[in-house]
Amino acid sequence: MKLTLKVWRQQDAKSAGKFVTYKVQNVTPDMSFLEMLDLLNENLQNQGQAPIAFEHDCREGICGSCGFLINGVAHGGHRGTTVCQLSMRFFKDGDSLTLEPWRAKAFPVLRDLAVDRSAFDRIIQAGGYITAPTGGAPDANAILVPKDSAERAFDAAACIGCGACVAACPNAAAMLFTAAKITHLNSLPQGQPQRDQRTLDMVAAMSEEVFGSCTNHGECEAVCPKKIPIEFIGRMNRDLIHATLHHRGK
């Protein structure tokens, strides 16, 4: 099949960007979306033009490197799928697609479709961990974890840190990302000692990174490739209220 792509091209963070239109031919339904872009990039290079920069690595939907907007929808809108796993059989001959990078002040564009997501690492640094220096751990079965807590912790820990939630949110909020990590750690017995401080610190770090706030649009959940539910934001807010009151009482 043949496609028309309107792609955001931007040399670096300081330059202005613009859309450039490309035609791609010989796309087959068994390609992935990124293999279609590989094909376009091969053609561009053979014509002496710079290939389109986009981030990717594992190409099996787990590393979280890839992601951009396809016709305005993060990861292309196929539920539970990253762009690297998005198959071209969902597109048809003659389709016209617009590709642009995540749009958020906290994620500056580095080049073309690649953005800087280091703000996520800084949120984790603020409290997204359980302090357990190597070597001092008790026997693993000394800590009993109820199965439902373990399951909820896992559901939250499945986040791949791709940033689609931020890109989809009209406020560019990182609430789903932050709430997922807080829910993961706050659901476990091992996470209780640092529960309040973790919640306060991570929420504060999120605000410092110029992310917006949640106004319940639910776009984040809709595009999340790991189907992380918006319910976790509610849990985070509950823990935040608890931690704030508890903190004030001290």
Partner 1 sequence: MLESKIPSGPIEQKWEKSRFDMKLVNPANRRKHSVIIVGSGLAGAAAAASLGQQGYQVHCFSFHDSPRRAHSIAAQGGINAAKNYRNDGDSIFRLFYDTVKGGDFRAREANVYRLAQISVNIIDQCVAQGVPFAREYGGLLDTRSFGGVQVSRTFYARGQTGQQLLLGAYQALEEQVGCGSVMMHTRSEMLDLVVVNGRARGIITRDLVTGAIESHCADVVVLATGGYSNVFYLSTNAKASNTSAIWRAHRRGALFGNPCFTQIHPTCIPVSNENQSKLTLMSESLRNDGRVWVPKKKGDNRPPGQIPEDERDYYLERRYPSFGNLVPRDVASRNAKEVCDEGRGVGPGGQGVYLDFADAIQRLGEAVVREKYGNLFDMYEEITGENAYKVPMRIFPAVHYTMGGLWVDYQLMSTIPGLFVAGEANFSDHGANRLGASALMQGLADGYFILPYTLPNYIASSSLEKVDTSHPAFAAARVDVNKRVAKLVGIKGKRTVDSIHRELGKMMWENCGMARSAASLESNLERIPALREEFWNNVNIIGTGEEYNQSLEKAGRVADFLELAELICVDALQRAESCGGHFRVESQTPDGEAKRDDEHFSYASAWEWKGEGAQWELHKEPLAFEYVHLTQRSYK
Residues 108 to 147: which contact partner 1 by CB under 8 A? 110-111, 114, 116-118, 120-121, 124-126, 128-141, 143-147
Rounded CA gap, 81 and 83, in Å? 7
Rule CB under 8 A: choose which of 9, 59, 217, 242 binds partner 1. 59
| Cβ proximity to partner 1, 17 vs 218, nearer residue | 17
Rounded CA gap, 94 and 131, in Å? 54
Give me the least distance between CB of 216 and partner 1, in Å please: 27
42 touches partner 1 (CB under 8 A): yes
Please tell me whether residue 246 adopts helix, strand or coil conformation: helix
Give me the least distance between CB of 106 and partner 1, in Å please: 14
Rounded CA gap, 128 and 250, in Å? 23
| Beta carbons of 128 and 185 less than 8 angstroms apart | yes
Other CB atoms within 10 A of residue 229 CB? 18
- Range in contact with partner 1 (rule: CB under 8 A) among 92-100, 169-177, 183-191, 213-221: 183-191
Give me the least distance between CB of 185 and partner 1, in Å please: 5
User: Site mask, partner 1, residues 142-181, x = CB under 8 A?
Assistant: -xxxxx--x--xx--xx-xx--------------------
Strands (E), the chain: 3-9, 18-24, 69-70, 73-74, 96-100, 109-111, 114-115
